[in-house]
Amino acid sequence: MAITASLVKELRERTGSGMMECKKALVETNGDIDAAIENMRKSGQAKAAKKAGRTAADGLIVIQMTDDNKKGVMVEVNCETDFVAKDENFTSFADAVAQRALASDVATVEELLNAPLHDGEETTINTAREALIVKIGENMNVRRFERFESANGRLASYSHGSRIGVIVDIEGGDDELAKDIAMHVAASNPTCVSAEQVPADMLEKEREIFKVQALESGKPENIVDKIVDGRVRKFLSEITLLGQAFVKDPDITVEKLLAGAGAKVNTFKRFEVGEGIEKKQENFADEVMAQVRGD
């Protein structure tokens, strides 16, 4: 069967693969487009599996919100290098993943990967991910997402480039205040909203460390507890949103800023690209050779 340009074009549109790869697949299946798609999917899965062991610690944080700022989602999509993180194919894929996460009710990354990339399409997010791995040549992952829905307030977001993202659920105040709080979270990275939300085990661990430090410095035992209490208060002011000095005006705390505006932060979430991922350090020459070999 003759492999026409229109047949190649159709396969490209349905798979997102390159022209030469599509033509080769059609030749191998004698023009059977469905068989070509199946073979390309199998090939893509194999190539994606081969790259799955490579560390993907770069990428993007994408935030999508509804027009009324009542619902929002934040997604981290990873790749291996900053160069690919800026690639239009990768950014378009990440945007589509975030849109699907916002529009659907999936609860886990696995469910999200099995959801269609776009409405009315059979191609799942995972299939599209595998095809993109083959096309670009880097491992890629949808690492995590967080969905928000504000019951009594509204959502505000802030993105520091594409590497840090924040969503805040806030009641009261105005849009400028909400944006400022989201920006503050991005800059200061608090652990939680208030001291009451600090995990008990974290607080106890810090208290023990402070006590040992005070005793080893030769402080009298009768004042050690007071010293420890003071250090705990300082620790809480550093890690809680309400206790921190506001980044745009360090003379006031976030708690006082919110109180003055009659506002309240219900919750927030901050994502930073690659946080918690141990990035493998490779010799540059070895890395170049690996790329030459197509590993």
Q: Is-contact 16 23, C-beta < 8 A?
A: no
Same domain, 62 and 144: yes
Q: Is-contact 123 117, C-beta < 8 A?
A: yes
Q: What is the pLDDT of residues 19-31, one digit of tens each?
A: 777 888 888 888 8
Same domain, 46 and 105: no
Instruction: Give CA–CA dist 116/125, Å, rounded.
Output: 6
Same domain, 72 and 128: yes
Q: Which range marks the domain in which residue 83 is found?
A: 55-149
Task: Tell whether 35 is covered by a domain.
Answer: yes
- Cross-strand partners of 71: 149
Q: pLDDT at residue 51 above 70?
A: no
Same domain, 90 and 35: no
Q: How many CB atoms lie within 10 A of CB 38?
A: 13
Look up the CATH number of the domain holding residue 44. 1.10.8.10
Task: Tell whether 37 is covered by a domain.
Answer: yes
Residue 294: predicted pLDDT: 54
Task: Tell whether 260 is covered by a domain.
Answer: no
Look up the CATH number of the domain holding residue 116. 3.30.479.20
Q: At 245, is the pLDDT very low, low, confident or very high (cuts 50, 70, 90)? A: very high
Same domain, 131 and 78: yes
Buried b / exposed e over 214-229, threshold 16 CB at 10 Å, is: beeeeeeeeebeebbe
Task: Tell whether 66 is covered by a domain.
Answer: yes
Give the mean pLDDT of 67-86. 94
Contacts of 98 (CB under 8 A, 6+ apart): 62, 63, 64, 73, 74, 75, 145
pTM, 2 dp: 0.75
Task: Tell whether 126 is covered by a domain.
Answer: yes
Same domain, 38 and 77: no
Instruction: Give CA–CA dist 255/193, Å, rounded.
Output: 10
Q: State residue 218 phi and psi, 5-degree precision.
A: 90, 15
Instruction: Please indicate whether residue 83 or residue 44 has the higher confidence score (pLDDT).
Output: 83
3-class DSSP string for 195-262: HHHCCHHHHHHHHHHHHHHHHHCCCCHHHHHHHHHHHHHHHHHHHECCCCEECCEEEEEHHHHHHHCC
Task: Tell whether 167 is covered by a domain.
Answer: no
Task: Tell whether 263 is covered by a domain.
Answer: no
